[in-house]
Structure 1
Amino acid sequence: MKNCTTTFEPRTRHDGLPHQNPWIIPAWSVLLSILTQWPFWAALTTADMTNKAFALRDMFLPAQITVNNITMGATEGAPRAVPQDAILAILSPAIPAYTMAALVMVFSGSLGSFAAAKMVQTMAGGRLIAQFAASLLVVWNPFVVERLLQGHWSLVSAAMLLPAVAYFAASRLWGMLLIVMTVCALTPTGLILAAIIALIFLTQWVQRFWIFLVSLLLSAPWLIAALVNSNATGGTLADPASAAVFAPRAEHHTGTFGALLSLGGIWNVEASAPSRHTLSELVGIALTAILILGIRELWRVYRGLTILTIAGFMVPALLSTDPGLALMGWLISTVPGAGLLRDSQKFVALAFPGMVLLTGVVIERMDYRRDRSKYFFPVTEVRNKPVSTRWLQRGVGVLLCALIIGNVPGLPKDIEPVAPRPLSPVWEQISNSVSAAPRGKVLLLPPGNYRMLGDYPVIDPALKLLPGTPLDPGYLVVDGRIVDGNRTSMELLLAIMQGHDTLKANGVGWVLIDWGSVSEQLNMSRAIKALQDGGYQRALDIDKYSLYRIPNPNLDNEQITDVPVRLGIGLFWLVATIGFWLTIWALYAAWVRYPEWWRWKYLSGRTPVPIHDGPKEVGVR
């Protein structure tokens, strides 16, 4: 094998090694998914989910999400939760939103773990213990836990699917590649991650061009909306100060780079895994240090992937320095849409496929029966090596599994806050009231787009439950600092909190007050006085919620259309449909070609053939 940037040369079991049961890895992958995404499995298996929702910080997934301006991306700035919220809102009358999200999560965890094992088996010649460790690494790490606790479920789904993107791209399984890229594209960051991985693992420029075109189609829901909406250009710029707020965070005594090396370091300290401490961070650093031992072999065969893996750690670390923060602050305040990059810790996920292969390389290197002069250690026919070296290999595999678990020692319990929680039944009454006349915007008080639900903050349920045009102020309060904000909503909130009534003139038809989220430090007296002086009727007063009706609002204000998002979703579904039928065709072809097509070992869709008369290496026709 010559040195090259990317290759895909599966090692088959023509090398004299015993075949493994084809169902072991699928069963292991599902087991890992149950352990690490158990709240989503619980939602699928629980009979009574009435008035319950996944509600934690940025995640709010009730049974039905309303089609409104927020979910459809028709806001004054760039769409924030498109296409995931738009798709869930459109489909939720038929399938509950929490059910769709749970299906995506269990699918991603299971398939990502399985694909990681297949990568190790076919690209690194890894045996069962190496496949176990690689599968475990994908779903059992601080990145997955922290992002779930922050509510970034679709980003976690995309990160877990990156090994699947790599495997399907390398094996040219186009249908499955399109399907997993479509799932990743539920969030813009997920699409970026998947596109980069796919381009790295493809070898021909024609293939890369088509995947780039596919990526553009999948980005259509949010890209077209950002380009068409009149206020999008200004709305896609961000506050330079937010660069420091969203920078990777140092953990305990390991520093920022140490946190990143252990796959942690999310900007919000409250979203850290409860079981993470200095010792577990050192365990994570030790895990990465051991994997680095295989970097030479990875470089000799997969140079592009090696560079990407290193960049996955180095770039976020550099962006957290003072010069990096200055650069990011300039980018997000100057380049429209660059705010997508300011949360740089999420790009650590780009290291996942490389770490998967490094896991296989390091474990297989411990078996001295392999010819260590060959890349990725193809097996030779030498039989006079001591059998005890197999136990060394297994021991290293068990050690890596222990380090992976020790990186987040309390994972099954750590994600307990993600579990579905009760939702107040009064939302149906509030929604029905807002659906009545007058039409107009809905102003949400107190200021802010997060509400307390139990012990945790949650994105305001009104943004996804109320019809029409609920106003999202768009600003975030992180560690006591206010960043960003939609100008129109901020001006309305500032005026009403100071006692000035500008509601009718700005097209506001309803004011909803959540008294359960009003802190002791917040003075609402001026706002209430302005509502009373305006003669506005209290249409509803129930369960800590007060709904005021503003008659005859000015509806002449320009309304932002959701047509671009709907057009983009059509292109999004086009890619998904093509991927589905390509997969069906591939399975049919496998059924015709192989009578035992149902066996996992045949689902690669490639025929192993000898590429030379030397040792038993194989290539792909």
Structure 2
Amino acid sequence: MRRSVGFWGVGESGRSTRWAGLIPAGYSAVLTALITGPLLGSGYLLLRDAVSTPRSYLTDSALGLGDAAPRAVPQDALLAALSPIVDGGLLVKAILIVALWAAGYGAAVLARALLAVSLGPQLVATTLTLWNPFVAERLLQGHWSLLAGYAALPWTALAAYHLRSAGADAGPRPSPNPVAVEADARTTSTDDSRRSPTAPSTRHGRRERHTRSTGRGPRWRRAISTGQQSTTVAAWGALAGCLAAAGLTPTGSLLAGCVALSTVGRRNLPGTLALLVAASAPWLAATALSGAGAEPSDPTGVAAFAARAEPGLGTLGSLAGLGGIWNADAVPDSRTTPIALVATILLLAVVASGIRAVLTAVPEDRAGLRVRRTLFALAVAAVVVPALASTGWGMEVMRWLVVEIPGAGLLRDTQKYVALAVPAFALCAAAGCRALAARIAARSTNAVEHQSVSRGGSAAIPVAVLFVALLVAPLLDLAFGVGGSVRPVHYPLGWQRVAEKIDATGDVAVLPGGMFRRFPYSGKVAVLDPAPRMLPNDVLQTGRLPVRGLTVSGEGTRAVDAENALLHGDSAQRLADLGVGWVLVERSTPGPLGDSAKTLPQLEKRYEDQNFALYRVPGDVARATETPGAHRIIAITAHLLWATLLIGGLLIAAIYRPIRR
């Protein structure tokens, strides 16, 4: 019988397989705890782009309806909806930790489903998925929600595999239960012996017609039919949940969408595309309603966000080693030394050891073979295309895309898409572990069971330990929050008091100018201003990003006009005309203040302490920029659709998952 693995990692062989399925889950939890250890304490994640706050609000910006492109939907709306119930900092840490655990465990389940590997190779797949430069760099950059999309990739591929297995292209059906077949054969033989010799075919014909008309027949046939239907329903539910989970950010939607659309097969493409659009509804609706995403992106961002070459590797080598993020400061210390070259060689050696096995045909599982080959092709493209995009002519193509095609700005950080290589890399590592263990077992033992030798026998665990060591040792500084860099912070009480004082309409302008801050409590690196998530009114942000000595412009002009009005010392009336009702001065961070000292005395001071000063703009604040109520209703409906897919899809996958005895 072809081996089957459920969506949660439970196989068909009973209690022992269930316990074996728990070991990769526990191992993934241990690695996740080693990586995120500091976050298990109290406090909030505040590191570069990562901003978690005790409470956030369902503002227009949280719904993606502000001036900036909707890059943080539906994650901001999710936190705004849940943070009144559960502390927002706890939510962000929980999502990040669960995402990393799911990524590692999903890799083990995918390897077991597509390769039928034993426990040792599964743990190797888990290790490669969690302990790699991509995870380290995205943690340091603060891309916690992108890692949720990363975690969905192996589960998306697994759902696609189950859909293909249940379809016409799955190859031969599983063999029936031999006991049931033998019993059915005996019954048929007995009936034949009692049949009248003058009418041997009449009774048989009536029996076949009865089976077709009533749907009753041999038990194994009904079981197969029921199992296939259950698998199909569960697979569609799992796919919906995975696409929604990945859709926590637009980039996550694109990552999971690439995996899903390339692996589900032609029969399932229309349904998959519909699910992808529904899972992307929050940012698609926000883009259409706000119009911000329709504006061309700043072409300066192409060079600023291009993949970066690491020491001794070049751009292609860095990407093949799952590194190469554009921000040279958001990398582990080990990646700034020749150790990066050693780590990449070891990683690629582990992956290369299993390429042949991953691409080799398995006659009884054509669906699995096609999924494996597709994932491998996707991995090659995920490394080669970003490398080409960092060349001179590649950047020219990218500049044309971001200027001429609305929304193409999502593609400028090309290193993000290296995540697509990880599922295939994990499969290759698992297959290589099994292949090496099988060679060792064949030479050192006289095992007579072919299956035991082919799976490596007793050599599988030692080889797995070797592979794990080769992957972990060169990147030891990933442990404990990437060397202690990813750790929680504690906000001063003044943030809460400022939020309580904002009790009237009008957007908030913030001083000093710029979007990034260096607070005494946030560490040495610049962090994204938490004001937009701390305050109940929309906070105007220019979207200007300082990257590699360049300044990448954002979308919209009103935030830029408001900041310039403050820095130039314009009148309070000018701020009111721009829709600014409040001005917050963050005193504990450096940054440009310009001539704002001329404007601030014209405002009404509402709160002041050593860290903050809050001012109310007097007079009538312009309401021309107010978002129409219909737009908010549409945006909220899109978010509810996304939440329905996430919760409903996972529930369907859990309820209808096939149970095999």
TM tier, smaller: 0.7 to 0.9
Aligned counterparts, 1:126-275, within 5 A: 126-172=117-163, 173-203=235-265, 205-234=266-295, 237-275=296-334
- Alpha-carbon spacing, 1:170–1:482, altered in 2? closer, same or farther (3 Å): same
Which has the higher mean CA deviation after the structures are superposed, 394-403 or 215-224? Answer: 394-403
Q: Within 2, Cα distance between the matches of 1:408 and 1:358?
A: 20
Q: 1:460 aligns with which of 504, 515, 529?
A: 529
1:101 aligned partner: 92
Contact 1:70 1:464 in 2 (8 A): no
Unpaired segments ≥5 residues, structure 1: 2-7, 44-48, 373-378, 595-621
- 1:443 maps to which residue? 509
- Alpha carbons of 1:125 and 1:76: their partners in 2 closer, same or farther (altered >3 Å)? same
**Structure 2 unmatched runs, 5+:** 2-6, 164-234, 361-368
Task: Name the counterpart of 1:309.
Answer: 379
2:649 equivalent in structure 1:
579
Q: Distance in 2 between matches of 1:386 and 1:354?
A: 21
Alignment of 1:225-374 (within 5 A): 225-234=286-295, 237-276=296-335, 277-300=337-360, 301=369, 302-368=372-438
Residue 495 of structure 2 is aligned to residue 427 of structure 1: yes
Structure 1 position 77, deviation (Å): 3.3
Tell me, in whole angstroms, the C-alpha distance in 2 between the residues paired with 1:582 and 1:482: 47
Q: Where does residue 167 of structure 2 map in the other structure?
A: none
- Matched residues in 1 for 2:449 and 2:356: separation? 25
- Separation (CA, whole Å) in 1 of partners of 2:18 and 2:152: 26
1:564 aligns with 2:634: yes
Q: Which of 66, 72, 86 in structure 2 is aligned with 1:75?
A: 66
Give the conservation status (yes or no) of the 8 Å contact 1:221–1:568. yes
| 8 Å CA contact 1:68, 1:464 repeated in 2 | no
Give the equivalent residue in structure 1 for 2:562. 492
Structure 1 residues 386 and 167, CA gap change in structure 2 (3 angstroms)? closer
Q: Secondary structure at the match of 1:54?
A: strand
Q: 1:512 is paired with a residue of what secondary structure?
A: strand
| Alignment-derived partner of residue 25 in structure 1 | 24
Letter in 2 for 1:424: P
Letter of the structure 2 residue corresponding to residue 426 of structure 1: G
Matched residue, 2:45 = 54
- 2:310–2:340 Cα contact (<8 Å) kept: no
Shift of 1:252: 2.0
Q: Which amino acid aligns with 2:581?
A: G
Secondary structure of the 1:348 match is helix
Distance 1:525 1:585, change over 3 A: closer
Once the two structures are TM-superposed, the CA of residue 369 in structure 1 deviates from its matched residue by: 6.4
* C-alpha separation in 2, matches of 1:531 and 1:67: 28
Q: Given that residues 60 and 459 in structure 1 are in contact (C-alpha distance below 8 angstroms), is that contact kept between their aligned partners in structure 2?
A: yes
273-282 or 88-97, which moves further after superposition? 273-282
What amino acid maps onto 2:318 in structure 1? A
Over residues 495-546 of structure 1, what are the superposed CA-to-partner deviations in whole Å (9 max), with x where a residue is unaligned?
A: 3212233212212111111122224xx4x351111333xx223222212212
8 Å Cα contact 2:566-2:594 kept in structure 1: no
In proportion to residue count, which structure has more helix? 2
Question: Structure 1's 218 and 563: CA in aligned 2 closer, same or farther, altered over 3 A?
Answer: same
Q: Distance in 1 between matches of 2:565 and 2:452?
A: 84
Identify the range of structure 1 (398-407 vs 210-219) with the bigger mean alpha-carbon deviation: 398-407
Distance 1:383 1:316 in 2: 41
Specify whether residues 138 and 505 from structure 1 end up closer, same or farther in structure 2 by C-alpha distance, changes over 3 A only.
same
User: Which structure: larger Rg?
Assistant: 2
Cα distance in structure 1, aligned partners of 2:18 and 2:603: 76
SS of residue paired to 1:443: strand
Give 1:38 shift.
2.4
Shift of the 572–166 alpha-carbon distance from structure 1 to 2, 3 Å rule, reads same
Q: Is residue 56–residue 83 contact of structure 2 (8 Å, CA) maintained in 1?
A: yes
What CA distance in whole angstroms lies between the structure 1 residues aligned with 2:449 and 2:528?
61
Task: Give 3-state SS (helix, strand or coil) of 2:306's partner.
Answer: coil
Q: Which residue of 2 aligns with 1:599?
A: none
Offset from partner CA, 1:463-515 (integer Å, 9 cap, x none) = 11112221011111123321112322112222321223321221211111112
Q: Deviations over 1:27-74 (max 9, x none)?
A: 21221221123244x15xxxxx4xx32111111112211222222212
- Identify if the C-alpha distance between structure 1 residues 371 and 217 changes in structure 2 by more than 3 Å, giving closer, same or farther: farther
User: What is the aligned partner in structure 1 of residue 194 from structure 2?
Assistant: none
CA offset digits 1:352-409 (Å, max 9, x no partner): 110111012211222446999xxxxxx994499799x757655543332122113422
Aligned to 1:479: 548
Contact 1:64 1:93 in 2 (8 A): yes
Q: Provide Cα deviations, 1:252-298, integer angstroms capped at 9, x if missing partner.
A: 22221221121111111111113333213422233114412433343
Instruction: Check the 8 A contact 2:124/2:433 in 1, yes or no.
Output: no
Q: Distance in 2 between matches of 1:314 and 1:386?
A: 33
Structure 1 residues 12 and 59, CA, compared in 2 at 3 Å: closer, same or farther?
closer
Secondary structure of 1:271 counterpart? coil
- Alpha carbon RMSD of aligned pairs, Å? 2.9
After TM superposition, give the deviation of residue 79 of structure 1 in Å.
1.1
Change (3 A) 1:514 1:385: closer
Quote how far apart the aligned CAs of 1:243 are.
0.3
Q: Deviations over 1:328-367 (max 9, x none)?
A: 1111122110010100001000011101110122112224
Alpha-carbon distance in structure 1 between the residues aligned to 2:438 and 2:140: 43
The alpha-carbon deviation at position 430 of structure 1 amounts to 0.8
Structure 1 residue corresponding to 2:612, chosen from 524, 545, 548: 545
Is the CA contact (8 Å cut-off) linking 1:509 and 1:549 kept in structure 2? yes
The CA distance in 2 between the partners of 1:126 and 1:77, in whole Å, is 47
CA contact (8 A) 1:83 1:187 kept: yes
Matched residue pairs, number? 557
- Superposition map of 1:393-432 within 5 A: 394-413=461-480, 414=482, 416-432=484-500
| Equivalent position of 1:554 in the other structure | 621
Distance 1:541 1:330, change over 3 A: same
Q: Which residue type is aligned with residue 653 of structure 2?
A: T
Structure 1 position 321, deviation (Å): 0.7
8 Å CA contact retained: 1:174, 1:579? yes
C-alpha separation in 1, matches of 2:263 and 2:454: 37
Q: Which amino acid aligns with 1:36?
A: I
Give the AA of the match of 2:276: S
Q: Take 1:259 and 1:492, find their aligned partners in 2: how far apart are those partners?
A: 41
In 1: Cα distance, 2:435 partner to 2:535 partner: 58
Q: Provide the rounded CA distance (Å) in 1 between the counterparts of 2:161 and 2:430.
A: 17
Alpha-carbon distance in 1 for matches of 2:516, 2:345: 34
Q: Determine helix, strand or coil for the equivalent of 1:80.
A: coil
Q: Alignment partner of 1:469: what SS?
A: coil
